[in-house]
Structure 1
Amino acid sequence: MGWRLFCGALLVCLGGACISQVGRAPSPSLPYEGLGAIAGLFLGVVHVPEDSAGRYFSSFSFGCRVAFCSAVAFLSAYAAAYPWLLIPKLGPLEHHRVMVLRWQQVLALAAMSSIWVFCILKKHPRSAYAHDAKWCMFGYWLVTLAFQVADVCWAFGLSSGLPSWTACGYAIESVVIGWIGYIFQIRMTGIRSRSTGSYRPTMCMLLLGGAFFINAFSDALLRAKVLPLELVLIPNVLFVAMWSVYTALVCMSLVRKRSLALQEVRRVRGFARQQARWAARILGLELLTCAVVGVTTCSKWLPVVVLHSMQLLSRPHKLDMSNQLYLAVFYYFPSIASRCDRVINSLGLAILSGILWQEAPPQGDDEEFRRSASARGLASMAKLLNSREQEVYQDVVAQLGRRGFRLSSLLNFWGQLVEEDRLMPGFDPQRSLTNDVVRQAIIPQSRLGEDGYALATLWCPEGLQPQVMVSHNWTNSFRNLVAAILADRLGHRVHGEVAEQISVATGVAQVRAQLADKLDATYWVCAFSINQHASICAGFGPEPPQNSPEWNSWHAKTLDSVTGRVFPLCGCRVEKVFESTDGRCELNKFDDMMAHLANTATDFRQLVVVDDRFDLFYRAWCVAEIFEASALRMQSNIQVSSQQVVDLNYDRLSLLDVRQCAASSPKDKDMIMAKIFDVHAFNFKMQELVFGTEAGLFAEWVDGRERSRQVGRILRRCALGADSAGGHQAASSCRCCTWLFRTASSSDTEESSQEWSDSASSYSG
């Protein structure tokens, strides 16, 4: 705010200086042009992108907005009709400029006022980006109005009004050009990466706006005979060249990004393909809009450059401007082009801001959606048993459905792990896996003499129906599992910060205080809710052939991930039941238990805790649970440690195939695959669940800036996928001018890919 007050005070001082020069300046019109330019530049003080007055205008009552829009419409109608009001006064001057161009002026005012009024009256969520776009449209309306007043002053021969209003119009347009540059830079920033530093939108705003102002004001100084033609031609050429290069660089960048998205459409399948196709459509529209805006602006000023060049080359002779060809090319065409440019820019801003047009979120192919919608849930194993065994089977399902636990019990257990070494010696919050905690803490804690129980049963002997079922994999960090459950109850979309917080005892106390009124929430987690003594406590399962990939995976699960020691085995006498055909087995009933709770529990939902490597989506039972929740129309929430891990694992997810999933035993995988009716529909539904429920990725209404961020995230994934597939794009040799705007350099895709490849490398390391 301070520098805006300073700029305002400076403009006031300059205005006073211009007033003092009236009647004393070398050219009588020069002070008036200065006053007009200063008045126009005041718009840049009133509004600054992302920080201005009137931001909450959309929250005003509908009546207030209608009244303001009515005033704008009335002024537009009066200004547009004024040439006809002049006809009786001008008499025979039917070929005066005001008369010749009156219809195009009417159309320009009508179009711009209509676009702006529509955008003001249309309801949408509060958005700084849309607010800035409305200011640009309003600025263009003011420009058109100022030039109309200037034409009227010319018709009446008002020597002071013509230069001042013309200069005011050009000054306002220079401010708007700067705003548009800022908005475009913000969009390019969103498309390329989250970091805005390399794009310098403020510098772009000052360069483009300043170049336009110098270009336009130099023409005014030429008319005032203050500057020679040679000096005026320089800013003319510089602005046209700068704008042309900027437009070309932006368009080249958008073409490359669209090509990358289309390449991804051909490479992946399912919902990931629909996202890439959606991004390609958005980029195509942006490319068309940028190209049209760039061409119309250049077509307005290029004839001026040509005219000044011809005048310079024809010296000492003067060009005959009464020639009809010269009039058409150097007067009527730029005049029409300037009005078309403002209308097209206003329309483009309304579209790209998200006010006038909203692209529907990516949808699947009709055939894929038909198949996934008709896909049933998993087939119950109870159907393979006789009637007596089915009764036992259903009794176990009901027992599992009563093994929920309160959040307070989980928090107490975690606090003991962090604070007490005796519960699990060698526990490391950052490195210990869920498998480590099950083997060395949960199994010992749930044993009573020669018997063993589910730990949830000991926490709540009377039984407790859970509100949330947690799907997770044991190779995930146990801290991430606990943090995800806590973050879910706290309402956080990611759990990375909570995980860091609970790594120390003081952080655990802080989280407990935040959850003071939510500690009675109930959850179901297999590690706590399954009786490990009836299955795995006494061994590690059959040993695969040594030195095989299966043996390496099996062997890793027998060792503590921190100390490297072999897990101690439990000597309880609880009968172990592994066979899926035995109704007493607890390891094959997750889907049936989910169906049971979905029908009996109120608002029962699923929480999917995803590890940082996304191995969960390649564990057969985890995938089966996620799909079953979808088939049961349960609410499913996905918890990840950060949004970045989603992007880094995009390529694995985009090619997800349940047939590539692994299970603890081949029998389990065969059993799960036998439950799936349609593998293709299953895979597509899984991608829809993963990509369609990302935190805030596709909302009902997004502004242009957020839409660019959505496209940018998809493009970064496409770049990672192209790199992993060996399709890295070659960089072009055209790197000139990239220092100017840092927008559309030919190495843009390469830099983006390299940025995320580096992140992936550091992550995997």
Structure 2
Amino acid sequence: MLFVGGWHAQTLAYVLYGITISVAATILFMLVSVPRGFWLSLRFAQAELRAQTAKKQRSEMDGPGIGSSFQTARIEKCEQLAAQAVRVARRLVCEAPIGLLPTLLTLAAYSWSLHSWGFAQHACLCIEAAFNILSPFSLMANCRFVMLLSGIDLFNAGKCRKARLQLRAAAEKAKWTTGDEGWDRKVLDLAGRGITLRALLRFYRRLGTSSVMPHFDPANHSTADVARQAIIPLSKDTRHGSSSMSTVLMQGRSVFPMKMVTHSWSNRFSHLVAAVVADALDLPEYEAVLGRLDRFEIGALEEELYWKSKLDQTFWICLFAVNQHASICGRILPQECDPVTGRQPLPCACGFGKFGSQTPPLRHDGQSILCEVNKFDDMMACIAAAEPGFTQLLAVDKDFTIFRRAWCVAEMHQAYSLRLPQKMFVFSEATLTRHKSYLKTLKVEDMEASHPADCDMILARISDKASFNEEVQRLLFDKGGLLEEWQGGFDHMTMLGEVARRGYERAVRGKSCQSELEVGVF
């Protein structure tokens, strides 16, 4: 064929040849500039790491009496951030050329094949073979580079599958005890009712199907609705008996949680799940996650979480961990009405014994030993003693009612008393801004609970309510508090850029860097 669209074949070859050379030149420029950019990031991140390490060493030499504990924690956090940035930058420096070089070689082979076709008029089998071999290598290298930029680690994926899920009750009991054997046994049982993120998402997938709450509406159904119409029916008369939903989801295994999720039952269940996923994705807001829970998107979300080794993270969520058949399943409150159907759910007829906070047998303080909802404080202390890094997550609803619920405030206070790391996840920054003034007026006396006896029990444990209110305000607004920690959330690449920027500023300031370190300016 001598003409293609009115063009001579040889002329067309020249055009394609020119385009290919232009693209190759662009990639060659990227091959130089991209690694150089990452190398500069590495250089400045290393400078920042050295500065923070020196500051930490000086702080340790000064002794505990110099400076506040917050400043020490801040220095350690900045040092960890800089160290992480150095690791990321070092990998990017190494992998950027690996991703671009095969592409350049592929284009070179393609250009030579065009040259052979346009001028020699005979196929060069060696060039074609090189092109066919280099093309898949180029695709794989670029896919690997994209995954690295997105925070996905291909070679570390799946390692969490080997993580320990079984609760070693003897070891935990050796570290923690209240002195009451029956009470401790129930606490340890509760502590072993964590679920994985994988199990949570699988459960969420079932909602709205013909067999599980077919009328489920993510925009309307609350956590309480899901408890009544999905969790209680699914956990009734299973091969584990009428048990907690976590027992069903984890097939009877005792699973030790890494994190505890504090949430309000009036919040949308989809928002609760989105907040847990936001933690796995290192996002401070969960509004953007909601769309990814759609039935057509959730598969891609699970794939991302798998490659980021997040699906086997374990969480303690009271909705799943508490055996609802031992507490609320047979009693429907008048206000409990399905927002979609307009009907009240039917009470459960499991016949399982119900245990309130004062149901015998009783402990010396009058609290029921077999009741599960009066042991959250001890359960948190038990897990904290056995699991370093145990963290509390606050899944804050759009109306911030979590800060009015008695059980939620009690859990926040216990985590604060145990000095557990606490992370807050809000619907959006706009909702947080709207409710800041409201948060400053919180008082424990205004707490609410579904059952007045629960509220009375929690208030009875707080001897000095004024001091408790001050502690809540410190928890929210002090340096290192929940609001400041929330503001500090940023992603993998932003972290690298921020640390590199700090290192660059130090390098530019030159000699002034030393004087800043001496006076403790960051």
TM-score (norm 2): 0.56
Residue 385 of structure 2: aligned partner: 599
Is the CA contact (8 Å cut-off) linking 2:284 and 2:486 kept in structure 1? no
Is the CA contact (8 Å cut-off) linking 1:402 and 1:465 kept in structure 2? yes
Given candidates 423, 430, 437, the residue that maps to 1:644 is 430
Is 1:632 aligned with 2:418? yes
Given candidates 298, 313, 317, the residue that maps to 1:521 is 313
Given candidates 388, 402, 406, the residue that maps to 2:196 is 406
Residue type at the aligned position of 1:474:
W
Given candidates 346, 370, 375, the residue that maps to 1:568 is 346
**Offset, 1:698:** 6.5
Residue type at the aligned position of 2:436:
Y
Residue 579 of structure 1: aligned partner: 357
**Offset, 1:602:** 2.8
Residue type at the aligned position of 1:486:
V
**Offset, 1:651:** 2.5
| C-alpha distance in 2 between matches for 1:486 and 1:60 | 29
Is the CA contact (8 Å cut-off) linking 2:263 and 2:394 kept in structure 1? yes
Is the CA contact (8 Å cut-off) linking 1:455 and 1:528 kept in structure 2? yes
Is the CA contact (8 Å cut-off) linking 1:449 and 1:572 kept in structure 2? no
| C-alpha distance in 2 between matches for 1:448 and 1:668 | 28
Between 616-625 and 513-522, the greater mean CA deviation after superposition: 513-522
Pairing 1:306-325 to 2, within 5 Å after superposition: none
Given candidates 441, 444, 450, the residue that maps to 1:664 is 450
| C-alpha distance in 1 between matches for 2:474 and 2:45 | 39
Is 1:677 aligned with 2:463? yes
Is the CA contact (8 Å cut-off) linking 1:617 and 1:623 kept in structure 2? yes
3-state SS, counterpart of residue 515 of structure 1: helix
User: Can you list the C-alpha shifts for 1:111-163, whole angstroms capped at 9, x where unaligned?
Assistant: xxxxxxxxxxxxxx99xxxxxxxxxxxxxxxxxxxxxxxxxxxxxxxxxxxxx
Is the CA contact (8 Å cut-off) linking 2:238 and 2:248 kept in structure 1? no
Is 1:395 aligned with 2:185? yes
Residue type at the aligned position of 1:475:
S
Closer, same or farther: CA 699–457 of 1 in aligned 2, 3 Å: closer
3-state SS, counterpart of residue 460 of structure 2: helix
Is the CA contact (8 Å cut-off) linking 1:431 and 1:562 kept in structure 2? yes
Is the CA contact (8 Å cut-off) linking 1:421 and 1:427 kept in structure 2? no
Given candidates 295, 303, 307, the residue that maps to 1:505 is 295
Pairing 1:93-242 to 2, within 5 Å after superposition: none
**Offset, 1:500:** 2.0
Residue 16 of structure 2: aligned partner: none
3-state SS, counterpart of residue 448 of structure 1: coil
| C-alpha distance in 1 between matches for 2:420 and 2:263 | 17
Closer, same or farther: CA 412–695 of 1 in aligned 2, 3 Å: farther
Residue 174 of structure 2: aligned partner: none
Is 1:492 aligned with 2:271? no
Residue type at the aligned position of 2:393:
L
Runs of 4+ in 1 over 3 A off after TM superposition: 58-62, 695-700
Is the CA contact (8 Å cut-off) linking 1:454 and 1:528 kept in structure 2? yes
User: Can you list the C-alpha shifts for 1:568-617, whole angstroms capped at 9, x where unaligned?
Assistant: 11100210111342210001111110001000123111111111001110
Pairing 1:358-507 to 2, within 5 Å after superposition: 390-418=180-208, 420-448=209-237, 451-460=241-250, 461-502=252-293, 504-507=294-297
Residue 26 of structure 2: aligned partner: none
Residue type at the aligned position of 2:207:
L
Closer, same or farther: CA 695–428 of 1 in aligned 2, 3 Å: farther
Residue type at the aligned position of 1:633:
R
| C-alpha distance in 1 between matches for 2:196 and 2:386 | 19
User: Can you list the C-alpha shifts for 1:365-384, whole angstroms capped at 9, x where unaligned?
Assistant: xxxxxxxxxxxxxxxxx98x
Is the CA contact (8 Å cut-off) linking 1:612 and 1:645 kept in structure 2? yes
Report the identity percentage.
37
Residue type at the aligned position of 1:487:
A
Is the CA contact (8 Å cut-off) linking 2:423 and 2:485 kept in structure 1? no
3-state SS, counterpart of residue 491 of structure 1: coil
**Offset, 1:519:** 0.9
Residue type at the aligned position of 1:463:
S
**Offset, 1:496:** 0.6
3-state SS, counterpart of residue 694 of structure 1: helix
Residue type at the aligned position of 2:219:
Q
**Offset, 1:561:** 2.2
3-state SS, counterpart of residue 483 of structure 2: coil
Residue type at the aligned position of 1:397:
V
| C-alpha distance in 2 between matches for 1:696 and 1:594 | 21
Closer, same or farther: CA 651–584 of 1 in aligned 2, 3 Å: same
Residue 78 of structure 2: aligned partner: none
| Structure 1: 5+ residue stretches without partners | 1-54, 63-124, 127-381, 541-553, 701-705, 707-765
| Structure 2: 5+ residue stretches without partners | 1-39, 48-80, 83-176, 359-366, 490-497, 499-522
Greater fraction of residues in helix: 1
User: Can you list the C-alpha shifts for 1:426-471, whole angstroms capped at 9, x where unaligned?
Assistant: 1001111000000000000001169410011122212111111111
Is 1:655 aligned with 2:414? no
Is the CA contact (8 Å cut-off) linking 1:610 and 1:638 kept in structure 2? yes
Question: What RMSD in Å do the two structures reach over aligned CA positions?
Answer: 2.8
| C-alpha distance in 1 between matches for 2:436 and 2:342 | 31
| C-alpha distance in 1 between matches for 2:426 and 2:193 | 25
Between 633-642 and 663-672, the greater mean CA deviation after superposition: 663-672
Is the CA contact (8 Å cut-off) linking 2:262 and 2:392 kept in structure 1? yes
User: Can you list the C-alpha shifts for 1:15-52, whole angstroms capped at 9, x where unaligned?
Assistant: xxxxxxxxxxxxxxxxxxxxxxxxxxxxxxxxxxxxxx
Closer, same or farther: CA 695–515 of 1 in aligned 2, 3 Å: farther
Residue 687 of structure 1: aligned partner: 473
Pairing 1:531-570 to 2, within 5 Å after superposition: 531-540=323-332, 554-556=333-335, 558-570=336-348
Is 1:612 aligned with 2:379? no
Pairing 1:335-374 to 2, within 5 Å after superposition: none
| C-alpha distance in 2 between matches for 1:697 and 1:600 | 27
Is the CA contact (8 Å cut-off) linking 2:425 and 2:486 kept in structure 1? no
Residue type at the aligned position of 1:509:
G
3-state SS, counterpart of residue 447 of structure 1: coil
**Offset, 1:487:** 0.8
Residue type at the aligned position of 1:511:
L
Residue type at the aligned position of 1:530:
V
Q: Paired residues, what number?
A: 308
Structure having the higher Rg: 1
Is the CA contact (8 Å cut-off) linking 1:493 and 1:695 kept in structure 2? no
| C-alpha distance in 2 between matches for 1:444 and 1:405 | 18
**Offset, 1:61:** 11
| C-alpha distance in 1 between matches for 2:472 and 2:231 | 31
Residue type at the aligned position of 1:694:
L
**Offset, 1:681:** 2.2
Residue type at the aligned position of 2:237:
L
Closer, same or farther: CA 536–60 of 1 in aligned 2, 3 Å: closer
| C-alpha distance in 2 between matches for 1:673 and 1:515 | 40
Closer, same or farther: CA 586–699 of 1 in aligned 2, 3 Å: closer
User: Can you list the C-alpha shifts for 1:289-342, whole angstroms capped at 9, x where unaligned?
Assistant: xxxxxxxxxxxxxxxxxxxxxxxxxxxxxxxxxxxxxxxxxxxxxxxxxxxxxx
